[in-house]
Amino acid sequence: MSTSTAMPHEQPSAAPPFQLMAQITAYRTSQCIRVLVELGIPALLVQGAWSLEDLAEKTGTIPGLLDRLLSHLVNEDVIGKDDQGRYVAVPVTRCLVPGHQQSLHDWVACELNPLLWRSWERLTDQLRSGTTAFDLVYGNTFFDWHTRDSAAQKRFDDQMNGASRGIGAVVVQNMQFEQGTKITDVGGGNGSFLAQTLEKNPATEGTLFELPRAVETYDPLFEDMRRQGRASVVTGSFFESVPGGADVYLFSRVFHDFNDQAATTILQNTKDVLVGGERLFLIDMMADSAQSGARGSSQDIFMLTQLGGRERTAKEFSDLLDASGFEILSIRPTASPVSILEFRSTD
């Protein structure tokens, strides 16, 4: 009689790698959240408990099918169910309601929209060809597409604006400018961040520099600043030139949209208009910050796929600017995912 010693490969199969399964299937929940938001259900649930039938009628959906979607989101703690079987809001549901202080509604609407979602299908091709996946799918770059597609532009601006408001409130607390300072926000979106900066710093003036768009709409606070004569708009491309005449140049989440070569062109065009003494402030997530982790590296791949851009460490930023003749003056982490890097020209 022989006694056998089980070899590792003969042992009963191990439990499935649950972490990997969760990673593989994470998109299912993303898509359910997108549909929940599209149907406007979070805004309904924060008003009170809803029966399945009433929710289905309100959203024009088939109760039995809606129930399956909602049941999954109950399991994921995105929404809840009370002891009478009615659907209710849980704390995180509020973050999917438009206008909520910490709302990610606009983030869902933009990032999970098929326009951006489809780029991921060409990521393998991007890794082989070097051409940005978005460009492979649409034959156009992200920003060129957006300036022509006003619905997509609005989704993107709203997403940026939502982030700007949350991040802006924290960042702006860290940026004090003397009265009379002229501030240009380069690639400033719809002016939300610049307007908050001007509001925090009395008697300063701001210029929003942005690409010309098919439809120009600005943040209400920015419009207010314009009416007060404290803000103006200049349109153009920073790959051609940057408007001169400012004391301070803000680049809020601009450089992560671009690879080093494109970023260097922007820096050189900025340098061309400096006369001496100006400061550049870069507001970006640092890829090596304590908060970034896997969220930072997934953001890096997002930037790669959609824009051919990249997230950078503080040292990578510093090296990039150093190569264009800028020296770093300070790096200030904030109570948000972004840090503030301050530079001045070395000549």
Can you give the binding site for ligand SAM, defined by CB under 6 A? 143, 160, 164, 187-189, 193, 210-211, 237-239, 252-254, 257
Nearer to ligand SAM (CB atom), residue 237 or residue 264:
237
Q: Write down the least CB distance from residue 265 to ligand SAM, Å.
A: 9
Q: Write down the least CB distance from residue 164 to ligand SAM, Å.
A: 4
Nearer to ligand SAM (CB atom), residue 117 or residue 143:
143
Neighbours of 126 (CB within 10 A): 19
Q: Write down the least CB distance from residue 177 to ligand SAM, Å.
A: 17
Neighbours of 176 (CB within 10 A): 9
Nearer to ligand SAM (CB atom), residue 106 or residue 210:
210
How far, in Å, CA of 339 to CA of 284, rounded? Answer: 6
Q: Write down the least CB distance from residue 161 to ligand SAM, Å.
A: 7
Nearer to ligand SAM (CB atom), residue 188 or residue 206:
188
DSSP character at residue 13: P
Nearer to ligand SAM (CB atom), residue 35 or residue 211:
211
CA distances (Å), 191 to each of 75, 195, 227, 239, 268, in order? 39, 6, 13, 20, 24
How far, in Å, CA of 117 to CA of 115, rounded? Answer: 6
Neighbouring-strand partners of residue 284: 339
How far, in Å, CA of 22 to CA of 215, rounded? Answer: 41
How far, in Å, CA of 269 to CA of 238, rounded? Answer: 7
Number of H helices, E strands in the chain: 16, 9
Q: Which residue is nearest to ligand SAM (CB)?
A: 187
CA distances (Å), 197 to each of 202, 229, 260, 277, in order? 9, 15, 28, 20
Strands 80-81 and 87-88: antiparallel
Nearer to ligand SAM (CB atom), residue 50 or residue 284:
284
Q: Can you read off the two tokens belonging to residue 300?
A: 């890096």
Q: Write down the least CB distance from residue 336 to ligand SAM, Å.
A: 12
Q: Counting every residue, how long is the chain?
A: 347
Q: Write down the least CB distance from residue 193 to ligand SAM, Å.
A: 5
Q: Does residue 191 contact residue 208 with C-beta atoms inside 8 Å? A: yes
Q: Write down the least CB distance from residue 178 to ligand SAM, Å.
A: 23
Nearer to ligand SAM (CB atom), residue 135 or residue 210:
210
